[in-house]
Structure 1
Amino acid sequence: MFSLRPGMAFHLIGIGGAGLSALAIVLHEAGYRVSGCDRASSPFTEALRALGIPVHIGHDPAHVGEAEVLVRSSAVPADHPEVRAAEAQGRPVVKREAVIGTLMADRWGIAIAGSHGKTTTTAMIAWIAMAAGRDPTFIVGGLIHGLNRNARAGREDLFIVEADEYDRMFLGLRPRIAVVTTIEHDHPDCYPTPEAFFEAFQAFAEQVPPEGLLVICHADPEARRLADLLERQGRRVIRYGWGPPARWWARPLAVDRFALFREGREAGVLSLSIPGHHHGLNALAALAVAEAVGIPLETAREALSRFPGTARRFEVKGEVRGVRVIDDYAHHPGEIRATLQAARACYPGRSLWVVFQPHTYSRTRALLGEFAAAFEDADHVLLLPIYAARETDTLGVRSEDILQRMSHSDARCVPDFEAAVDFLRRHVRPGDVVLTLGAGDVYRVGEHLLEALKVSEEE
């Protein structure tokens, strides 16, 4: 492994992704030397360059340079040329959790995990801490609107991090406070069964020291099972949800307003600027953590009322000719259902169009039936080809397999972005809402549609 020392040089392979770009910012702002590379430019790489961090596009052993530690993303194979060059020179090659875990050592670590909601919940906690005048370090898997960043290095010992379950990243963390938002089977390439997935979350939770705190969603069945198990171990657990026995719970009043209760007593109204009952649950988790680190309830609640959300989470991209385009990272059936329910509540009576890009072959195959049933709240559905991400097409699964299992009255597959934009341009009408859903680059469809509608408007 390695030990940190002032001015140490790090080289990050895959620096253009959400996870490593955030780590790069924290290392840079903490005074370490940072460089990185990725196969293509992205908004993250451009933001890093603006900070003065050298970013190479493409891969070359020469990029290793004087780096003392190489950090590789989970998508980078062990035989990567830069990895092999570093190993040949005896330099440690680690994944991000090793660096984050080392940075968190002896600090007040807060780690937020869950199949869904972890990015928004992490961002909410960071936002509350900043609003309360605290100076935290945070690492979030998405850009926080209003702060225009996904990470920062603070001066106090509060360290807030999104704990990703993929590739068992979260098992490299040792937080004093851990949040579990949901446990719904995902990443079948890492966790072949739902029980294997649950066991990983159990291992994550059990890394919290005995004097630490676990904040767990009582509204989620598998998270509730984990809370029961941990309480039998004598762990300190705070539950949140839609009613007793949760310590923090809420009653929905609208899509973005909730009657708030703490230990069974009314605690006012919680108002959010981002819609969805699932975000109400995320806010409850954030309030529980805020209380645990000494932030007054009124300060936290007022901060949440101004929380502007994160990129790619029900993000309004624009409106042209009365057609509103919204983008969301939803790439799991549970996330799709929650996003569409929020959209239906926000835009009653309006026609909802969904453009969905499945993410990875393994997830698509494992959850075919769940995907097919996830679009009930949409009026029209366009399915794009599967976004491969880190995988190759070895499973023989296609988006057409989802379509064949759907009973939806208006769903179809389209071959590419251009076809999706052309179809939408010809069929959407003023008042319609278009949602682009998926963890890949499906957001480009919405951006191109807005451009096409603008051109049509000017003609």
Structure 2
Amino acid sequence: MRVPGHVHFMGIGGIGMSAIARVLLAGGTSISGCDQRSTPLTEALAREGAIALEGHSPDHLRNTTLFVYSSAVPVDHPELVEARKRGIETIKRAEMLARLVNGRKGIAVAGTHGKTTTSTLIGYLLERAGLDPTLLLGGESIDLGSNARLGSSDLVVAEADEYDGSFLRLAPYWAILTNVEADHLDFYGSFDRLFDAFCQFLASVPSDGRIVACVDDPGVEKVLKHQGIRASIATYGLRSDATWRAENVQLEGPYSRFEAIHDGISLGEFRIGLPGAHMVRNALAAIATAVSLGVESALVRSALADFRGARRRFEVKGEFDGILVVDDYGHHPTEVAATLAAARSRLVGRRIVCVFQPHTYSRTKNLLNEFAVCFEDADELVLTEIYAARERDTLGISSTDLAARIERPRTTLVASLEDAADHLMGMLRPGDALITMGAGDVYRVGDMVAAKLSGR
């Protein structure tokens, strides 16, 4: 996958942008990119051969023939404006992703939750089977050590993000749909418009393609009734009418175990080292995809047991002075509740202390009632201020409003991540599990606590 000329990425430090840059780099494309600050990810890109620049400036455009920018870049940004003034082709990240996926045997993983783990697992299984796929992931695969991989086959596994309608640019051969819930209402305005977007996405799969969808989810079940769908449909889940279903599910212990059933025929027991019923569903989606593409179920079983997951998806950072530190990307009420329920069943006997950083003012305001009741499987909650991301504080919502709505568990509101770490050092005890959650930089709290505990 080589692009002629020189490609410049504005916002190259983003997880989706960096995946595309890495695939192009591996294919021999000349790459540069910039972001507001240097990070371990941009430093890794520099080691891999990219020109990684800190800050933004029109001076970055030297020799650029294609300018790729993220959704976070405003249309009047000087660097973008200058690129257009110079006649450089400018495209959004979603369009660049489409150029890599469309026309190939693209497998696009969509849904409100579970996209990263599911796409990472599908890619891992296909790679273990020797099918040599290209991977464009929304998180870093622990097994791969990266969020991207350039393969030699026509198979491309990509995470399909619904934010700002990005996934509607894709025309995948296969589509995986994990769930459909209210999110990104700052862009869509209503759930109905979000729902319509998912319908359009599935309608883009050709008649000789395949849709693999979680029938346990009410939103998915409704989307599957859309008249525009042309592809064949295989469902998965815990329901008895699913094409691929899990039975005899056991969530305790170091592995989640289940029996996989396909069209009434047992494929035997499978296990995955990630907790929770939601992870069983993610595993089923990957099993269905891999086996349908010709991978032997015995190989899938072995690989699934070895799978270590993606960074920030119930990632165990280690045990420090008897305190287990876990980090998770969950930032939607459904994700938070599922992760804490999984922790409750996996970490039997441990007190669960959750640090949550709300992500964006719009999501916090739109889902305030749902957030108020999603922490009940935690024993203690530490709530930070809202991580603004792309937004400004114009909606009259704060973490104080959320804290006032939460009846249980006991909630402590802190002003900064440093304050959160200091508070935790005074209340954590051996045997506890500390879980940091959010899509911002809340993982830093776990890192600070781990460093303090290691230094005692």
| TM-score, with structure 1 as normaliser | 0.96
Shift of 1:297: 1.8
Aligned equivalent of 2:344? 344
Counterpart check, 1:181 vs 2:186: no
Question: Alignment partner of 1:427: what SS?
Answer: coil
Structure 1 residues 326 and 376, CA gap change in structure 2 (3 angstroms): same
Aligned equivalent of 1:100? 97
Question: Alignment partner of 1:139: what SS?
Answer: strand
Aligned equivalent of 1:259? 259
Shift of 1:349: 2.2
Counterpart check, 1:217 vs 2:214: yes
| Counterpart code for 1:221 | P
Structure 1 runs (4+) deviating above 6 angstroms are none
Shift of 1:41: 1.5
- Whether the aligned pair in 2 keeps the contact of 1:241 and 1:248 (CA below 8 Å) is yes
- Whether the aligned pair in 2 keeps the contact of 1:115 and 1:183 (CA below 8 Å) is yes
Deviates more, 1:355-364 or 1:209-218: 209-218
Shift of 1:409: 4.3
Aligned equivalent of 1:238? 234
Aligned equivalent of 2:452? 452
Aligned equivalent of 1:156? 153
Shift of 1:6: 4.8
2:38 to 32, 38, 41: 41
Structure 2: stretches of 5+ with no match in the other structure = none
| CA distance in structure 2 between the partners assigned to 1:116 and 1:417 by the alignment | 25
Structure 1: stretches of 5+ with no match in the other structure = none
- Whether the aligned pair in 2 keeps the contact of 1:12 and 1:72 (CA below 8 Å) is yes
Aligned equivalent of 2:317? 317
Aligned equivalent of 1:404? 404
Counterpart check, 1:59 vs 2:62: no
Cα distance per residue 1:222-258 (max 9 Å; x no partner): 011112335x855411000002211100021234111
Shift of 1:142: 0.7
Q: CA RMSD in A?
A: 1.3
| CA distance in structure 2 between the partners assigned to 1:257 and 1:42 by the alignment | 37
Aligned equivalent of 2:133? 136
Cα distance per residue 1:314-349 (max 9 Å; x no partner): 001121110111000000000000100110011112
| CA distance in structure 2 between the partners assigned to 1:140 and 1:100 by the alignment | 11
Aligned equivalent of 2:23? 26
Question: Alignment partner of 2:226: what SS?
Answer: helix
Shift of 1:95: 0.8
| CA distance in structure 1 between the partners assigned to 2:437 and 2:355 by the alignment | 6
Identity %: 45
| CA distance in structure 2 between the partners assigned to 1:357 and 1:19 by the alignment | 21
In the TM superposition, what are the counterparts of 1:335-374 in structure 2 within 5 Å? 335-374=335-374
- Whether the aligned pair in 2 keeps the contact of 1:249 and 1:262 (CA below 8 Å) is yes
Structure 1 residues 355 and 68, CA gap change in structure 2 (3 angstroms): same
| Counterpart code for 2:239 | G
Structure 1 residues 105 and 406, CA gap change in structure 2 (3 angstroms): closer
Deviates more, 1:320-329 or 1:293-302: 293-302
Cα distance per residue 1:74-124 (max 9 Å; x no partner): 111111111111100111111112112122232101000010000000000
| TM-score, with structure 2 as normaliser | 0.97
Aligned equivalent of 1:288? 288
Shift of 1:5: 7.0
Aligned equivalent of 2:334? 334
Aligned equivalent of 2:436? 436
| CA distance in structure 2 between the partners assigned to 1:22 and 1:6 by the alignment | 15
- Whether the aligned pair in 1 keeps the contact of 2:205 and 2:229 (CA below 8 Å) is no
Shift of 1:68: 0.8
In the TM superposition, what are the counterparts of 1:171-210 in structure 2 within 5 Å? 171-210=168-207
- Whether the aligned pair in 1 keeps the contact of 2:8 and 2:32 (CA below 8 Å) is yes
Question: Alignment partner of 2:258: what SS?
Answer: strand
Deviates more, 1:242-251 or 1:292-301: 292-301
| CA distance in structure 1 between the partners assigned to 2:269 and 2:3 by the alignment | 46
Cα distance per residue 1:42-72 (max 9 Å; x no partner): 2210110110100100000010111111100
| CA distance in structure 2 between the partners assigned to 1:86 and 1:175 by the alignment | 30
Deviates more, 1:358-367 or 1:39-48: 39-48
Cα distance per residue 1:173-203 (max 9 Å; x no partner): 1100001101011011112211111111111
| Counterpart code for 1:328 | D
1:120 to 117, 122, 135: 117
| Counterpart code for 2:275 | P
- Whether the aligned pair in 1 keeps the contact of 2:2 and 2:27 (CA below 8 Å) is no
Cα distance per residue 1:122-180 (max 9 Å; x no partner): 00011001100121111001110121011011111101100011111111111000011
Question: Alignment partner of 2:222: what SS?
Answer: helix
